Amino acid sequence: MATVTHDIGAYTLTVGEVAAAAGVAPSAVRFYEEHGIVRAERTAGGQRRFDDGAACRIRVAKVAQRVGLTVREIAEVFADLPPDPQPQDWGEVAEHLIAEAEARTAALKAYLGDMRSGAKLCEL
């Protein structure tokens, strides 16, 4: 198998390549690795090499941050992903993230709803 630039499932991508693919700065990629959002192997010389899922995880993380999840929380959700995850594994992570986002939105609605229904939570 003489794949040159793209060996799926292998740790071949540099920090810069992942950064470009994810739309973030290389420094952010290092930050995310440090915090468990992505994994990297190292070359003999000490350089990071990422697999194809890395940019994806980072893109998902950026969107998840917008709904109020912290990097730590996102890393915990991702921790359930096996190495080389299948679509189904991603599906479960997706459910988890969406459920969390909806729970938080529901909390907001509940609070604002109580407020409007004249419950004296907010004596305006």
Q: Tell me how far, at minimum, the Cβ of 3 lies from its own copies, in Å.
A: 13
From the list 7, 17, 52, 73, which residue makes contact with its own copies (rule: CB under 8 A)? 52
Compute the least distance from the CB of residue 86 to DNA, in Å. Answer: 27
79 is a site residue for DNA (CB under 7 A): no
For the chain, percent helix, then strand, then coil, each to nearest 5?
55, 5, 40
Q: How far apart are CA 66 and CA 81, in angstroms?
A: 21
The residues with which 13 forms a beta bridge, in sequence order, are 50
Q: Give the phi and the psi of residue 50 in degrees, each rounded to 5.
A: -110, 160
Q: Which does 70 bind (CB under 5 to 8 A by kind): its own copies, DNA, none?
A: DNA
Residue 43 interacts with DNA (CB under 7 A): yes or no? yes
Q: Is residue 100 part of the contact set for DNA (CB under 7 A)?
A: no
Contact partner at residue 36 from DNA, its own copies, none, CB < 5 to 8 Å by partner kind: none
Q: How far is CA 29 from the centre of its chain?
A: 12
